[in-house]
């Protein structure tokens, strides 16, 4: 006896045999998912690479800082933003974010020059950044006599430029250090507490830092507070201003921004 196949209805065929349309939709969905994942992965990789590049530049090349106080007037004003070169004095633990204790001392280091405007970690409060001018190197003898800076027993030349009254009377001078570098300083008078001091002997491995606003600066003259700055605490040398504002416009006062920006200071070098 020959057996005959039972006839199948079109409905039964449609239930047991997947259509090409269903397969295409399924494969298309998987393809879109894979494409979205690949796009997400590429975006994440781009962000990670950008962050690593930014951290590398900040750690080894340049780091931005802003000026919150007037201790460096007239050279730097409150509201100035500047770049500090990290490679100028080499690298220490303080060159890295969060100051990890990876090593001691300074790698590829060199001493600053007299007259450099430097950012450093405040001795004893290493989570605080200070910016001052380096006027004394290891072994130097520093003293203030009637407002005049003396280095190794010799008075530093200063030339009176102008008098002013910015809320309090002051006099500005051009001060020329022994290496020939000239910068501006500001004095209220020559009879303030820090205008007449005993002689300081800068220890080895340290520098002596002072603010250009001589009567309004807490610096190395205050041995009980800042004192001598360990070379290890140096972060870098201030190089150039990239932005400056006078603080008269709040963040949300967009219409006042153009009048608050000190356009004349942008991209100025720091002497």
Catalytic residue among 86, 88, 95, 132: 132
For tokens 């010799």, name the residue: 154
Q: 99: left (phi > 0), else alpha (psi -120 to 50), else beta? A: left
Q: Which two tokens stand for residue 173?
A: 């001078």
Q: Which two tokens stand for residue 170?
A: 């002051």
Catalytic, 169? Answer: no
Catalytic, 132? Answer: yes
Catalytic residues: 71, 132
């Amino acid at each position: 006896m020959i057996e005959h196949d039972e006839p199948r209805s079109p409905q039964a065929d449609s239930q047991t045999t997947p259509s090409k349309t269903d397969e295409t939709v399924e494969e298309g969905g998987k393809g879109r998912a894979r494409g979205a994942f690949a796009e997400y992965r590429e975006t994440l990789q781009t962000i990670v690479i950008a962050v690593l590049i930014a951290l590398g530049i900040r750690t080894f090349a340049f780091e931005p800082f802003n000026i919150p106080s007037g201790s460096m007037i007239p050279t730097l004003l409150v509201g100035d933003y500047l770049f500090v070169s990290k490679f100028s004095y080499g690298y220490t633990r303080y060159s890295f974010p969060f100051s990890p204790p990876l090593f001691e001392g300074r790698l590829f280091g060199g001493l600053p020059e007299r007259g450099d405007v430097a950012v450093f970690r405040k001795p004893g409060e290493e989570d605080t950044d200070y910016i001052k001018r380096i006027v004394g190197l290891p072994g130097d003898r520093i003293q203030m006599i009637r407002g005049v800076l003396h280095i190794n027993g010799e008075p530093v030349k200063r030339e009176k430029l102008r008098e002013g009254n910015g809320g309090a009377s002051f006099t500005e001078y051009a001060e020329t250090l022994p290496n020939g570098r000239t910068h501006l300083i500001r004095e209220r008078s020559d009879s303030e507490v820090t205008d007449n001091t005993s002689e300081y002997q800068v220890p080895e491995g340290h520098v002596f830092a002072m603010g250009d606003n001589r009567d309004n600066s807490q610096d190395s003259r205050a041995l009980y507070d800042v004192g001598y700055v360990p070379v290890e605490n140096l972060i870098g040398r201030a190089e150039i201003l990239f932005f400056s504002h006078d603080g008269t416009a709040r963040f949300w006062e967009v219409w006042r921004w153009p009048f608050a920006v000190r356009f004349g200071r942008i991209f100025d070098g720091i002497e």
